[in-house]
């Protein structure tokens, strides 16, 4: 189950955060093998870091000193789609894109999409409760999960792959493993919900005079389009202009705005749904909520609008000296947060450059700043998040990178409860130790710390 020489890829991580060399790499092929590995490591207090596609953005999977890598890259089996039920059971090492393509081939769709789809795996997506562009319509990854198979630190296998839409027979243990970044168990398989394919989709790109106007437009489109509204993205002017230059793409609207919005609908009937969508947008123009708008009239135009949104991410990836915060605040707090963060960041670094975009429909912004003072700028942004009663991680997780700021959005009581869970399920602290939070006393591991 282990390679002789350790390949360098296991030490790679996003950006410039390279992990150390792992002690060894374990590459189990089945849940039973994962169980055997964990049972032995637990008995010997050997710390492990679980790896999927290593695309995480907060260094949960980065190798720390003294850790072995538990890579699920060989667990890539997919069961056939159950079309009547709209479900599929897949191994943790399956790439998101493979899952999407398998659903598509069966005439269905998977509800989560993120940029790293080609490498990010189901196991990592579960462990980080991945979000992305269509949370507004389909929810986070948590909402896609009908059941999991997971292995506890002591090798216990918990299997819940029945594919039941409703099951209130005792505690839902699956929830423990979703978004806990591999610290409570290793997810090996998942039963996932698939959705009917949209019969029709369209999008629009708008220039708006203010973020307040964007929030009003969101509220109006929610009322007008109901569950059809499937994405509502915001782009601020600096990153919009940079993404246009970087990608060489055409401006979708001629007017300039204080903010730009990409709204998407997934409907059932082209003429009717797009007419309603266009009506709501035209009314918003007449009411001076929107300054300028383009509604896509073809699949080509639809893709072009999405490509501009994706160009924002590509532009950011091409830059160096960027610090990124993935934050969320309630919509009513958003305008105040943006003003205060702007001032706080400029105070921390007068030369800071701002790149702000994200999923406004979920109150989630990627707030990315070009700066030579990363810690001071991060402090500034996340302190404003605290003041706005928001979250310092909307979708990327805490990992190693953000744990020093966790107390800004979670109370001492909450962090103590997280530690209670960690102590109950991983008493020797072998699973992704030090991710999200540290345990108070890092004593030498015992065979059963609770006895």
Residues numbered 155-194 forming contacts with a second copy, rule: CB under 8 A: 156-160, 162-173, 175-176, 178-180, 184
Nearer to a second copy, 162 or 245 (CB): 162
Binders of a second copy in range 422-441 (CB under 8 A): 423-425, 436-437
Report whether 137 contacts 229 (CB < 8 A).
yes
Question: CB-based burial of residue 4 (10 Å sphere; 0-12 exposed, 13-18 middle, 19+ buried)?
Answer: exposed
Report whether 46 contacts 68 (CB < 8 A).
yes
Least separation in angstroms between CB 345 and a second copy:
20
Residues 6+ apart with CB under 8 A from 23: 46, 66, 67, 68
Q: Name the one residue in this structure whose structure tokens are 């579960």.
A: 126
Report whether 182 contacts 431 (CB < 8 A).
yes
Residues 6+ apart with CB under 8 A from 102: 78, 81, 88
Three-point CA angle 101, 102, 104, nearest 5°: 60
* Gap between the terminal Cα atoms of the chain: 32
Q: Which stretch binds a second copy (CB under 8 A): 7-15, 96-104, 214-222, 252-260?
A: 214-222
390 binds a second copy (CB under 8 A): yes
386 binds a second copy (CB under 8 A): no
Alpha helices in 45-185 (DSSP H): 96-105, 122-127, 135-138, 174-177
How many CA atoms are closer than 13 Å to the CA of 14, on its beta-carbon side?
24
Least separation in angstroms between CB 321 and a second copy:
25
106 binds a second copy (CB under 8 A): no
Q: Name the one residue in this structure whose structure tokens are 């030490």.
A: 11
Least separation in angstroms between CB 147 and a second copy:
11
Least separation in angstroms between CB 12 and a second copy:
22
Report whether 26 contacts 2 (CB < 8 A).
yes
366 phi, psi to nearest 5 deg:
-95, 110
Kindly state the number of chain residues that form the binding site for a second copy, as judged by CB under 8 A.
98
Nearer to a second copy, 24 or 224 (CB): 224
Nearer to a second copy, 172 or 372 (CB): 172
Nearer to a second copy, 106 or 304 (CB): 106
The H or E element containing residue 24 is: none
Binders of a second copy in range 221-250 (CB under 8 A): 222-223, 225-228
Residues 6+ apart with CB under 8 A from 368: 239, 316, 322, 323, 324, 325, 354, 355, 356
Q: Which stretch binds a second copy (CB under 8 A): 98-106, 137-145, 248-256, 306-314?
A: 137-145
CA-atom Rg of the chain in angstroms? 23
Q: Which stretch binds a second copy (CB under 8 A): 8-16, 42-50, 66-74, 76-84?
A: 76-84
| Neighbouring-strand partners of residue 205 | 262, 294
331 binds a second copy (CB under 8 A): yes
Nearer to a second copy, 361 or 370 (CB): 361
Nearer to a second copy, 183 or 242 (CB): 183
29 binds a second copy (CB under 8 A): no
Instruction: Give the dihedral of Cα atoms 279, 282, 286, 287; nearest 10 deg.
Output: 70
272 binds a second copy (CB under 8 A): yes
Q: Which of 218, 295, 311, 356 binds a second copy (CB under 8 A)?
A: 218
393 binds a second copy (CB under 8 A): yes
The H or E element containing residue 324 is: strand 322-328
Least separation in angstroms between CB 387 and a second copy:
13
Q: Which of 26, 148, 152, 192 binds a second copy (CB under 8 A)?
A: 152
Q: Name the DSSP letter for residue 120.
A: -
Least separation in angstroms between CB 83 and a second copy:
7
209 binds a second copy (CB under 8 A): no
Binders of a second copy in range 346-365 (CB under 8 A): 359, 361-364
285 binds a second copy (CB under 8 A): no
Nearer to a second copy, 268 or 347 (CB): 268
């Amino acid at each position: 189950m282990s390679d002789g020489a350790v390949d360098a890829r296991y030490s790679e991580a996003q950006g410039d955060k390279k992990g150390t060399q792992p002690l060894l790499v374990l590459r189990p092929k089945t849940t039973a093998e994962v169980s055997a590995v964990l049972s032995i490591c637990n008995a010997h207090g050997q710390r492990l870091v679980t790896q999927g596609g290593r695309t995480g953005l907060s260094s949960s999977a980065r190798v720390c000193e003294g850790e072995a890598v538990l890579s699920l890259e060989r667990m890539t089996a997919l069961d056939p789609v159950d079309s009547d039920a709209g479900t599929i059971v897949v191994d943790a090492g399956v790439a998101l894109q493979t899952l999407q393509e398998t659903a598509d081939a069966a005439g269905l769709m998977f509800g989560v999409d993120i940029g790293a789809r080609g490498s990010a795996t189901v196991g990592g997506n579960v462990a980080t409760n991945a979000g992305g562009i269509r949370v507004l319509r389909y929810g986070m990854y948590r909402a896609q999960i009908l059941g999991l198979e997971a292995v506890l630190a002591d090798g216990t296998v918990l299997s819940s792959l029945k594919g039941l839409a409703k099951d209130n027979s005792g505690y839902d243990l699956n929830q423990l493993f979703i978004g806990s970044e591999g610290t409570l168990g290793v997810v090996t398989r998942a039963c996932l919900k698939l959705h009917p394919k949209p019969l029709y989709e369209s999008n629009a790109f708008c220039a708006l005079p203010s973020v307040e106007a964007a929030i009003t437009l969101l509220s109006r489109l929610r009322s007008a389009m109901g569950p059809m509204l499937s994405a509502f993205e915001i782009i601020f002017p600096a990153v919009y202009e940079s993404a246009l230059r970087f990608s060489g793409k055409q401006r979708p609207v001629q007017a300039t705005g204080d903010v730009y919005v990409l709204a998407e609908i997934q409907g059932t009937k082209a003429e009717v749904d797009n007419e309603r969508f266009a009506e709501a947008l035209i009314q918003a123009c007449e009411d001076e909520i929107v300054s300028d708008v383009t509604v896509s009239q073809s699949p080509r135009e639809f893709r072009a609008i999405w490509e501009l949104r994706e160009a924002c991410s590509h532009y950011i990836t091409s830059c160096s000296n960027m610090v990124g915060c993935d934050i969320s605040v309630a919509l009513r707090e958003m305008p105040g947060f943006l003003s205060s963060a702007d001032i706080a960041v400029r105070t921390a670094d007068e030369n800071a450059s701002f790149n702000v975009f994200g999923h406004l429909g979920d109150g989630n912004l990627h707030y990315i700043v070009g700066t030579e003072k990363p810690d001071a700028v991060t402090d500034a942004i996340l302190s404003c998040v605290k003041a706005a009663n928001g979250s310092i991680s909307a979708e990327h997780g805490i990992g190693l990178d953000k744990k020093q700021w966790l107390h800004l959005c979670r109370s001492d009581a909450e962090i103590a409860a997280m530690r209670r869970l960690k102590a109950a399920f991983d008493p020797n602290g072998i699973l992704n130790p030090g991710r999200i939070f540290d345990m108070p006393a890092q004593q030498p591991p015992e065979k059963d710390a609770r006895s």
